[in-house]
Amino acid sequence: MEGKRNIDFEDLLENEEFIRQLKEDRLQAERLIEDLCQENQDKAEAIRNAASLVYHYHAQQVNVDQETIRGMWNNVLQNSEKKHRFAFKLAPLMRIAASIILLISFTFYFYQYLNEDSLRKFASKKIEISDEARIIISDGSEHKLKQNESHIRYDAVGNQIIIEENNNKTEKLDNHSSAKKDEYNQVVVPYGRRHTLTLSDGTTVLLNSGSSLVFPARFSGKKREVFLKGEGYFDVAKNTEKPFVVNTESINIKVTGTKFNVSAYENENSISAVLVEGSVEVARNGFFSNNRCKIAPGQGCFFSDNSDELIVRNVDVNQYISWIDGQFQFENQPLASLIKKVEKFYNKQIVVNDEELANRIISGKLVLSEQLEETLDFLAKTTKSRYIRKDDGSYLFTKQ
């Protein structure tokens, strides 16, 4: 740190020696802060605030990287710009008080953010999608779902799970929790299958193939939060006092009661939320993020890693939700586009080796069978083509 005469909070956030001193010798670090403030009196307030920020999150061993802290601090400065312009007109004592209030508020909201993020941390655990659907309950045990499109239902307090199969058989599981705050359940759906889940608040979720949903057996906080990987159709039970939030890797969807579809597969760089009825608010993940939008029925909100922005546009809702009826509905789409959807649903590689066939425009409905080859038979008949199964397990479409 010696020799630096022009330093501000960004330097402190990135300086490993300074962070080490904060962890190992707070008194020495405080003397250094005062020396820096004397040398940079026009930046003294920012330096002290930045030092407090660094100390709180590094000395407390909170797992936040430098880029995240710096981004959050910049957001604090941007959101408080008007407050600062007013604060400079105040007496010095009031300015100091305003700065302290700002820092305390930031600390409180970030602490709250970390606590709420326990759902995201749980969802980040790698769960393999196998050939069998399963539910993972609070004690860590797993239960296999024997049939496609079975219905999983929780009672109002989350202590019992009722599994209803298509053959009218019913199975009940105990889900006694130890009442820990961070206990969650998870439903994992394999490719080529769908399952319906009714949560303890009455919300119904239809999970598409290759998807998983993390959720508490009972919603106890101020929000009803779940985490989705893959695709789900949500019919949310109305509760204006407790908003329902669907978390994904990049965006969050907040509602009080509505019907909408979310697609957020891990192996794709785009996420979508399409509204059927009601109203939803979509927001980018991130502390103090201002990137958010509201959509109306018949609209979709789309996010892509390439643009890093939320884009709203009018859509044909049926093309996004027809999968809930076990089919793909499409209109004036090239065969290649439909093939991609079939690939995703069954997690199988399907190649069209003829350009004219790949670009052939088709409209209609494709029924999704539990067996991939039954679906491919239907598709080949509709498009007047044929397919073969290769030795590596992939499929090849050609002209007849």
The SS3 assignment for 119 reads helix
pLDDT (0 to 100) of residue 117: 64
pLDDT (0 to 100) of residue 40: 76
pLDDT (0 to 100) of residue 147: 72
The set of residues, in sequence order, having a beta carbon less than 8 Å from that of 311 and lying 6+ positions away, is: 301, 302, 303, 304
Count of beta carbons in the 10 Å neighbourhood of residue 370: 14
Give the separation between CA 307 and CA 290, rounded to whole angstroms.
Answer: 16
CATH of domain 129-318: 2.60.120.1440
Using CA atoms, how far residue 116 sits from 110, 113, 187, 212, 222, in Å, is 10, 5, 20, 20, 11
Give the separation between CA 120 and CA 253, rounded to whole angstroms.
Answer: 14
pLDDT (0 to 100) of residue 77: 52
Per-residue confidence of the chain (400 residues) as pLDDT tens digits?
444 445 555 555 566 666 666 656 666 777 777 777 777 777 777 677 666 665 555 444 444 444 555 555 555 455 544 444 444 444 444 444 445 445 544 554 444 444 446 787 778 777 777 778 889 887 778 888 877 777 888 887 777 888 887 767 788 888 765 455 557 899 999 888 889 999 999 999 999 999 999 998 888 888 999 999 999 999 999 999 999 999 998 899 999 889 999 999 987 888 999 999 999 999 887 544 457 889 999 999 999 877 778 999 999 999 999 999 989 988 888 999 899 889 989 989 999 988 999 999 988 889 888 889 999 998 898 888 999 999 999 999 998 8
Place of tokens 């941390």: 121
Residues 321, 276: contact at Cβ < 8 Å?
Answer: yes
Give the separation between CA 177 and CA 157, rounded to whole angstroms.
Answer: 10
Give the residue from 267, 271, 291 showing the smallest Cα distance to 281. Answer: 291
21-28 contact pairs (CB < 8 A, 24+): 22/51, 22/54, 22/55, 22/58, 22/59, 23/58, 23/59, 26/55, 26/59
Architecture (CATH level 2) of domain 326-399:
3-Layer(bab) Sandwich (3.55)
The residue extents of the domains of the chain are: 9-116, 129-318, 326-399
Count of beta carbons in the 10 Å neighbourhood of residue 87: 18
Supply the Cα-derived Rg of the chain in whole angstroms: 26
pLDDT (0 to 100) of residue 54: 58
Mind spelling out the 3-state secondary structure of 36-89?
HHHHCHHHHHHHHHHHHHHHHHHHCCCCCCHHHHHHHHHHHHHHCHHHHHHHCC
Residues 174, 158: contact at Cβ < 8 Å?
Answer: no
Buried b (16+ CB within 10 A) or exposed e, 313-339: eebebeebbbbbeeebbbeebbbbebb
